Structure 1
Amino acid sequence: MEQQKKIKIFERELIEDQFNRINQTDNTTVIITPKYNTTNKTELKIGVLLPFSQKNDNLTAKIVWAGSSAIRMAVNDINQQQMIPGAYITLIEKDSFPDTTLNQMSVTNAVYSSVTLLQQGVVGIIGDISSSWTSLSALISSTLQVPQCSFTANAVALSDKTQYKYFFRTIPTQVIIADAMLEFASKEGWKKLGILYTDDPLGQQFYQRAIIQAGTMDIHITQYQSIPTNSDQQNDGLNSALKNLTDSGARIIMVVANPTSKIMIRANQLGLVNENYVWLLMGDAEEDLKTQVDVFNTNHTPTIDYASAFQGLFMFDNWLGLYGYPPFESFLDQWAKLNPQMYPFAGYRNISYYEGLAYSCMMVMAKGYGKLIEDSSNQTGQLLKLASGELGDELLPPAFNINYVGPEGPMTYDSNGDLTTGNYLVYNLQHGNKVVVGQSTGGILNITSAPLFYDGSYNAPLDSPPSVALNPELGSPISNVILTLSFCGILFSFFCFLLVLIYQLIGFILTYGSVITMIGIPSTASCIVTPVTFSLGFLLVIGSIITDAHLIRSVVVIVGIDMIILIIGLIVARPLPTRFDVSFSTHYWKCATEDKGKKMVFLVLSTSYAACLLLFATFLAYKTRFAGKQYNRYSECKQMGLSVYNILFSALVGFAVIVNPLADFYTKYYIIVIAILWATTFSLLILFFPKVQAFYQYKLKERRQRRQLEEKSFGHQQNSLFSFLQSDQQSQPVISELLNLDQILHSDEPILSENNSRRKPSAVSTTTTTTGDGCQLIEVHEGEMPIRKVFRYFPFLSQWEMNHIMVFPWLGYFSHFSKDAKKGTVVSYYQVTVYSAKLEDYVLKIHGQGWYDIYIQLPTLNSLNTWQQCFNQRKPDARPYFTTE
């Protein structure tokens, strides 16, 4: 077998590559070109800037040579598959660490290496190893508009596009470990977390990203606390930082601070590593933590038992060996076929560290170039521009966002050229040993085994101390008071309902019911029932006050309009029980909707409608404020006015509290409940307690009269229908209760003089005799009582007024006039019917000949019957003398 030729590059001996020619032109430069025919193809030079001659650190050397082997493997694939149309790639490897000393001269030589590499016409650079060396070369390459990719530099400072405009990388920054931590917390059911971070760029960017990502995952960052980077200040700042975190109620704490081991030992000393807390650490801190615990035990007593003290600790670290992931497995198959003497550290079905990321760096760059050429209308011209470095801003990081999925997962970049997802392992300390319990690939976390927590169980602890709901529960003193008042009001309403069938009582019952549903934690049903019962109850009360309580259609219209608005609003913006945290130990529940805009629209409509009804009721109460003074027996106007004013005052108080953004839960809840109970109870008592009292007084009076009648003899002569109304002094010349038209027309004295007008309210006068001189007398009745003149087709806006009336039943008309207003009207009618005969609500309806009807109120049922007979006493041939109003 023919022995392969050996070559030496950067003092490392390799055998000759079967696919490429390798030529070291000087001590710091090696050029690798493909052996196949490249005629009529354009050369694209890619620089590889790595510390090839570094010998002090074996780990660094392994990363450098294994990474360069992966890049060469990628170049072989690119050239053989013609991924860049009409072009081939030549690698120029440049030693970025030619000086072994760590002084200013080494920095100068590193800069010089970057400059000389760029002078060789490279269209892209891969490197460097450390973030500090990478920042030097990236600054120069960005100035010259040459894209640069790194597979090891993860410093957050390199995300600054003002300095590193053309820089991107295939290694994720440590900042996005926050995504994996938050997803792990979400899977464990934790919604509250705290962050402890070092006050440096990494810590600041970490907590800022964590806050943003937590908002998208319905997780709340309760507290984020920094500690100084200075070690002298860190000792004092660490205790206060840990105290502030735990005082905020945080129980799940993310640690992005160095040194991690020192922080955990201090937390253990403060008693913060126990069954109530969970610590999520950035990076694999197992070995360092063990070492620091041993050091601590040497110098302190009592000692720390590492296995038990830190059980349940979680650590999140980069995951490079994605075994089982198909793209990674394909990479391993190809990697294992390479000759390790030709490609250092290859030839095995495993990787050392960053080989997959180095391979992805070269592939992303090549595919980005290929897409630029394929998308161009002049591919040849575009390729020449690329080779000569004339594309400029077309080579910014977004140009390489081509949805490439490599061995280390998808290479998706943000505007800073940083990966949006990473690959991480979740370690769990169990009985002193590190165990993998989760794997995150491409932003998706899979829990591979159940995590073990500090107490030795697999049950995740709470994310905060037990929180107490502020909503009053059944059985609490305040709920007992609310229930007592509500049930008393409901029972009184039912009792009144048996006596007087009025819609207002139903409204009061529903309003009390809405207050009862506000007790305790709301449910999905109560979020619907509470607004419906309250609105319906309120509208029944106000609607019955505005219009006549007996006009069913009027009340239905008033209630129906708001019910339509409310029901549509509840369907479109359905309220659901929602928890709101006041502090880490207290919270409250209320009904809320997700779509605030829709809720606001229907809330404004419903509130505006109710406000208009309430204001109109207030207007009517104001207009009828003097009715009770003029006629005391009809003082319900005053009662209704007081009720409306009270409801208006309570509504203003409740509205002011609801719209106040500074009011806390207790203020809003209790003032609203008190306002509803006060308005309902006051209105119920002021409107119906006098009715109940009058009912019992009437029953007692009726019982006494019945007893007196039983004592009288059965031979007592009955009086005529109107005899009890006749004057005791009929012979007196003054005007008595019997008036006729001749006397009215020929009397020299005013009919309604001050003295003569002082008659008993609602008195009736009549006569049907003929005088000796042949004058025909006409039957006349008069009295003073409340009347209401209404337009037959729109009766809602009329009001009660005290008027003096004179009835001429045989002529079919009557007159009414107001002594205060000094005006009156003559009205013809054809029929009088009983409109209401309920207790304290005796009303006659006079059916007018025109478009208006007249309602009159009477004090007793006896008066009601008497006046109805008086109005309806008509001669058979009587015709109305007046036909207009």
Structure 2
Amino acid sequence: MNLPQNQPNASSRLFPYTPPTGANFSLELTPNVTNRQGLIEIRVGVLLPYSLPNDITQVLSYSGTSAIRLAASEINAKQLIPGAFITLVLKDSFNGHDPENSGAAQAIFSTVSLLQSQAGVSGVIGDVSSALTVQSALLTSRLSIPQCSYSAGSTQLSSKDQYGYFFRTIPTELMFGRVIMDFVASRGWKTIAVFYAGDSLGSQMMDTISRQAVKRNISIGYRKAVMEVGAGVPLDVGPALDDLEASGQRIVIVASAGSPQTKLIREAVKRGLVSKDYVWLTLNQVTEPLLGGNTTLKPTELNGFFMFDNLLKLNGYPPYEQWLDKWAALDPVEYPYAGQRDISSNEVQAYSCMMTMAYGFANASKGNLTALHLLEAGRLGSRLKPLGMNTNYTGPGGPMVFDEDGDVVYGNFILNNFQDGKIVPIGTYYSGLFNLSSEPMYFDGTYDTPADSAPLKVLNPKFGSSIGMVVISVAGLSVLFSLLTMLIVVVYRNAKVIKASSPLFCCLELCGFILLYIATVMGLDKPTKFTCMARPLALDIGFVLVVSNIVAKNFRIYRIFHNIYVTKRVIRDSHLLKIVGTILFSNLVIMAAWFIKYPPVLEQVVLADFTSYWSCSNLGGSSSTPFFAVLLAYNAALLFIATYLAYMNRNVAANYNECRQIAFVVYNILLAGCLAMPTVFLPNEQFLVKFYLSTVVILFGTTFSLMFLFFPKLWELFTQIERSQQRLGGVGGGGAGGDGSDDNSIDGFIYNNGGWVNGSGNLAVLAQGSAAAAAAAAANGSGGAGSMNEGSQYMSAGRRKGSIGTLDESKSESLKETHMGYMGVKFQNRWLPFLSSWCMRRVILYPTGRFFTCFELGKPETGRTFSYVSVFIQSREPGSYILRVIGCGRFDFLFQVRDEERLLYWYSLFDNNRQPPSSNHWSASMNGGNGGDNGVMMPLGNLSMGNLTLMSGLNLAPPSPTHQAHGSLHGGGGLGLMPGMNPRSESDQTLQGDISMTPLQHGSAFSNGNNNNANNNGVDESAGFSQVSSNYFNSMLHPDQHYPPQQQQQQQQYQPYQQQQQQQQHYHQASNSVANEAFERSRFVESEQQELRGQRSVVDLGTLSRVAVEEDMEHGVQGQGQQQQYERRYI
């Protein structure tokens, strides 16, 4: 507050109307009342320290009393309180004769004496200091008596729990915070530093400044207390000033007074912090104490200081000017400090106290006699609380409006600017409005507003920076590649390699890649309002376009290969496009709701090391987190679905080359997402880490996915184009491997594997000496392209004794039962069944041993053998004929076949105790005697050129009536169907006849006439392999045809492998010969049948399961010498 310093010594003056000193004495004044008849006296106490020997206090007390008497005179003269008049009761709140009872104790005694006087009081005005006022106001509030102060500014009095009836006409210290922040906002400063006192008042001031800063969107970059809380000892301000310099803040507010304030400023001057780069704002005038005494400071060193103070003289304000006229007209003898057009202290506030209270009394009583009597007795109650004093009164101090705490809403302040060693008023604050009368001048003598903080280095990489050029180059080249690829896809959309990948989805994926590259470039430089919305949309739409189309493609493959026998199922692009559209639409709905509810805004984040970066944030702040969480969870689920489908389709890559590419792309996107996710949670200080990591992850993930998806397609496309041009130009001469090549057809397979077919067009099963190599060749699905002579090298290797460790060479053993087929298999983990998928496998079953071997077609090294416990039919629905085999470990095995007949057939094979259903066709069997269980059985329905069982020492010939008759005559010994062996059904085609496999006898001959061969120890060379009529393979290659064909179809033979009638007769003759020999041999076999039944050795070589049986024939046949003969059979 601004108190007069040039007045005469107040203690030497004699003031009229001074109350006697002592708690029991008072002085009553009733100004300007001539007739009291019919009027009720309203007594108002004036409690001031009249006897306190202090110049400032006495000026405040006596000048205030003069203003209060002026107001009471006007109230009585104008009868502002209808039916009543005002009587002032002056009371000294200080006992000068008794120092022991002075201060707070004396104030309490004086207040109690005033309230318990004969007539009492209806209201109280006082005290001048906050320390005395808190004592008296506590008592008046307990008795519901209103009290007003015109000079006590302590914030403690704002507590309505203790001071419910107290109000004041002077602004509190807290209003300084509001005024200062208004000036800061008018200068455009957005960040400040604050030093505040560590006591209760300083803490409240800091809270007020913080609230006002938030309202004006101003941040407090640094704050520090310059006094220990409650200690009253100033801190060492050196570290505080060091921290200020390090913070980079340039606008400094000193919200404290007295010694801490002056010490802080002096130290700041020494450290050079009072300069053109800094602006200092303080409470009250600080230049006089700083420049007074034995100081070394120069006035120019304080240039640019801004000092805020209460404004008591509202020159030019009409109510104030009118009041000055009345004040100057008073007699200074009767009214101390009056009689001049000037004020000495808080006269205006004292005058407003009395006038506000009078208007409040009038408003509460409204001329009612009963209310006036209650008011007289001091029992009008809650009507006289601070809010009840809001009567729209406007006095010389401005409008008197109070809040619920009793503080004035609008204060009057003045802003002084220290310019060239002088205090210059440059602005005022009236009724909540800040007005500058002149431009503020700063330390350097200029009027240019300094920056609110140290120059900040913006961290956002520019377009022209090195990293910016790299990002633009990579993104630009990739976008160009994507556009060219899109053009190629459109032009060559009918090419098989493009058509298999769906041109529509390829274009959508390329659009997604382009959007991701554009979003990466938009992350450079300072963002704008447009990029704040466009970049997240581009990232989201680009990601969804890429991943959703990958999901659609994988879903198509998954649907096709989930059921192994529906590879021709058509899933149109329109169906998949609905999936993509649904995913994209759902994503856009989330984004739209997010941006509508919390639109993105541009924000500059200032860091502690004088750096900053621009970013886009949502207005909702943490409130927008649910939208981000939903969007993140949605896209993460989409990515995991893509990963799951890629994993499930991993085994079909051999047929659909893009499947493996898609799997790698999905895994790459998943890895990129995992690397980019932590950047969302990094602190602001790690902006560059976030930027570089996210940019590298997006560029790498996008570029890798783009190249891995489309580069192989383009390479294959141009390779096909080059091959086509070579064929048209006569260069290639029918090169293999292109689209439409016969190599991929069944005819081409048989043609290219001609070494397996003899000159008559019949299947050649290799001789025993070469069976191992031939078995591997068959497993690989490849064969020589030469003639029969080229492949016959395997057939003339002669006989070698096998070396299988599990064979007991001292006993004769025979193969019991083995079955082979090519079917859909699913290896299903019992704990994770959803991770298994269907795949085609070659299966060799050993039902008597209850185990089987599986390996991939063309990959014999992948063979694995499994044992099983039981089997049951899981599904018999059309298109889903599935057999479940319970394994011994943690895996179960699902086998899918084409129809119900095969299902029942394989069920009977796996369940060794059951007999398979009868059929007109059966798998080939081999019998070593009458028992019929010693045999090799092959499922003919699955027999093809790629999965043939290779055997040696076997004759395969179509049965004939002679076979059947002879078999019946001799008890089935080695002819046709062996006794005890029922036909087994496995195929859906009808084979009218049987295939019998009979062991070779020493000296047996085929119709070619070659009965002896020295290299074969007397065995016919041609007997080293068996032949099967091509009509059998016709029935297998063409399931819709039957064998034998109808009469009208007998002339339509399979063209690539036509059979001659002479060759068919050759087989019948050979079969008859074999039947005769088998009959002669039955007596030897019968004696060993019991011992041979059940004897078997199996070794899994990793390529094919091989079964070898060695028989030692110790008895000769038809008079010839005894000669040992070995048989090997490879399956």
TM, length-normalised to structure 2:
0.59
Give the aligned residue type for 1:362. Answer: M
Q: In 2 relative to 1, CA 26–117 (structure 1 residues): closer, same or farther, beyond 3 Å?
A: closer
Q: Which residue of 2 aligns with 1:29?
A: 27
Question: Paired residue for 2:370, among 376, 381, 406?
Answer: 381
Q: CA-to-partner distance for each residue in 1:565-603, whole Å, 9 max, x for gaps?
A: 434543443212111222261222111221347744544
Aligned partner of residue 88 in structure 1, secondary structure: strand
Q: In 2 relative to 1, CA 707–399 (structure 1 residues): closer, same or farther, beyond 3 Å?
A: same
Whether 1:519 and 2:524 are equivalent positions in the alignment is: yes
Q: In 2 relative to 1, CA 817–730 (structure 1 residues): closer, same or farther, beyond 3 Å?
A: farther
Whether 1:679 and 2:701 are equivalent positions in the alignment is: yes
Distance 2:14 2:731 in 1: 138
Aligned partner of residue 587 in structure 1, secondary structure: strand
8 A contact 2:651–2:839 mirrored in 1 = no
Distance 1:537 1:444 in 2: 53
Distance 2:258 2:92 in 1: 32
Q: Which residue of 2 aligns with 1:170?
A: 169
Give the aligned residue type for 1:581. Answer: V
Aligned partner of residue 224 in structure 2, secondary structure: strand
Of the structure 1 ranges 478-487 and 272-281, higher mean CA displacement relative to structure 2 is found in 478-487
Q: Which residue of 1 aligns with 2:42?
A: 44
Please show how residues 305-454 of structure 1 align to structure 2 within 5 Å: 305-306=298-299, 308-374=300-366, 379-454=368-443
Whether 1:653 and 2:653 are equivalent positions in the alignment is: no
8 A contact 1:618–1:645 mirrored in 2 = yes
Distance 2:171 2:518 in 1: 59
Shift of 1:492: 2.7
Whether 1:482 and 2:471 are equivalent positions in the alignment is: yes
Whether 1:636 and 2:658 are equivalent positions in the alignment is: yes
Q: In 2 relative to 1, CA 116–484 (structure 1 residues): closer, same or farther, beyond 3 Å?
A: same
Q: Which residue of 1 aligns with 2:245?
A: 246
Q: CA-to-partner distance for each residue in 1:398-430, whole Å, 9 max, x for gaps?
A: 433445433222333344323344211111111
Q: Which residue of 1 aligns with 2:291?
A: 290
Please show how residues 612-761 of structure 1 align to structure 2 within 5 Å: 612-628=637-653, 631=654, 633-659=655-681, 664-708=686-730, 727=751, 732=760, 734=762
Q: In 2 relative to 1, CA 238–520 (structure 1 residues): closer, same or farther, beyond 3 Å?
A: same
Distance 2:361 2:686 in 1: 60
Distance 2:640 2:746 in 1: 46
8 A contact 2:24–2:113 mirrored in 1 = no
Question: Paired residue for 2:75, among 70, 74, 78?
Answer: 78
Q: In 2 relative to 1, CA 484–383 (structure 1 residues): closer, same or farther, beyond 3 Å?
A: same
Of the structure 1 ranges 681-690 and 313-322, higher mean CA displacement relative to structure 2 is found in 681-690
Unaligned 5+ runs, structure 1: 1-9, 16-23, 298-303, 713-718, 737-752, 762-783, 787-798, 805-813, 827-869, 872-885
Distance 1:698 1:85 in 2: 111
Aligned partner of residue 194 in structure 1, secondary structure: strand
8 A contact 1:179–1:443 mirrored in 2 = no
Distance 1:187 1:571 in 2: 32
Shift of 1:610: 2.8
8 A contact 1:99–1:106 mirrored in 2 = no
Shift of 1:48: 0.9
Shift of 1:46: 0.3
Q: Which residue of 2 aligns with 1:747?
A: none
Distance 1:455 1:252 in 2: 15
Q: CA-to-partner distance for each residue in 1:298-352, whole Å, 9 max, x for gaps?
A: xxxxxx432x211111111110111222332343344344444443333433322
Q: Which residue of 1 aligns with 2:812?
A: none
Please show how residues 78-227 of structure 1 align to structure 2 within 5 Å: 78-97=75-94, 99=96, 104=101, 109-120=106-117, 121-161=120-160, 163-227=162-226
Q: Which residue of 1 aligns with 2:61?
A: 64
Q: In 2 relative to 1, CA 234–270 (structure 1 residues): closer, same or farther, beyond 3 Å?
A: farther
Shift of 1:757: 10
Shift of 1:449: 0.6
Distance 1:278 1:801 in 2: 78
Q: Which residue of 1 aligns with 2:264?
A: 263
Question: Paired residue for 1:466, among 444, 455, 458?
Answer: 455
8 A contact 2:128–2:151 mirrored in 1 = yes
Please show how residues 801-816 of structure 1 align to structure 2 within 5 Å: none
Q: Which residue of 1 aligns with 2:1001?
A: none
Aligned partner of residue 437 in structure 1, secondary structure: strand
Aligned partner of residue 93 in structure 1, secondary structure: strand
Distance 1:83 1:801 in 2: 104
TM, length-normalised to structure 1:
0.74
Q: CA-to-partner distance for each residue in 1:3-22, whole Å, 9 max, x for gaps?
A: xxxxxxx964589xxxxxxx
Shift of 1:161: 4.6
Q: Which has the larger radius of gyration?
A: 2
Q: In 2 relative to 1, CA 402–639 (structure 1 residues): closer, same or farther, beyond 3 Å?
A: farther
Aligned partner of residue 708 in structure 1, secondary structure: coil
Q: In 2 relative to 1, CA 268–373 (structure 1 residues): closer, same or farther, beyond 3 Å?
A: same
Distance 2:70 2:40 in 1: 20
Q: In 2 relative to 1, CA 822–232 (structure 1 residues): closer, same or farther, beyond 3 Å?
A: closer
Shift of 1:177: 0.9
Whether 1:570 and 2:595 are equivalent positions in the alignment is: yes
8 A contact 1:198–1:258 mirrored in 2 = no
Question: Paired residue for 1:588, among 605, 613, 621?
Answer: 613
Q: Which residue of 2 aligns with 1:530?
A: 535
Shift of 1:453: 0.5
8 A contact 1:572–1:598 mirrored in 2 = no
Give the aligned residue type for 1:147. Answer: P
Distance 2:823 2:612 in 1: 60
8 A contact 2:365–2:371 mirrored in 1 = yes
Aligned partner of residue 344 in structure 1, secondary structure: coil
Q: In 2 relative to 1, CA 35–818 (structure 1 residues): closer, same or farther, beyond 3 Å?
A: closer
Shift of 1:722: 11
8 A contact 2:274–2:301 mirrored in 1 = yes
Over aligned residues, Cα RMSD in angstroms?
4.2
Q: Which residue of 1 aligns with 2:906?
A: none
Shift of 1:247: 2.5
Distance 2:839 2:79 in 1: 102
Shift of 1:723: 9.0
Shift of 1:93: 1.6
Distance 1:635 1:419 in 2: 82
Question: Paired residue for 1:823, among 876, 886, 897?
Answer: 897
Q: In 2 relative to 1, CA 247–756 (structure 1 residues): closer, same or farther, beyond 3 Å?
A: closer
8 A contact 2:823–2:897 mirrored in 1 = no
Q: Which residue of 1 aligns with 2:278?
A: 277
Unaligned 5+ runs, structure 2: 1-12, 491-505, 557-572, 735-740, 765-774, 784-821, 825-836, 843-877, 884-893, 901-1037, 1040-1131
Shift of 1:110: 4.6
Distance 1:734 1:36 in 2: 149
Q: Which residue of 1 aligns with 2:584?
A: 559
Q: Which residue of 1 aligns with 2:548?
A: 543
Q: In 2 relative to 1, CA 541–211 (structure 1 residues): closer, same or farther, beyond 3 Å?
A: same
Aligned partner of residue 578 in structure 1, secondary structure: strand
Of the structure 1 ranges 572-581 and 311-320, higher mean CA displacement relative to structure 2 is found in 572-581
Question: Paired residue for 2:635, among 610, 619, 623?
Answer: 610
Shift of 1:756: 9.0
Q: In 2 relative to 1, CA 704–654 (structure 1 residues): closer, same or farther, beyond 3 Å?
A: same
Distance 1:246 1:758 in 2: 79
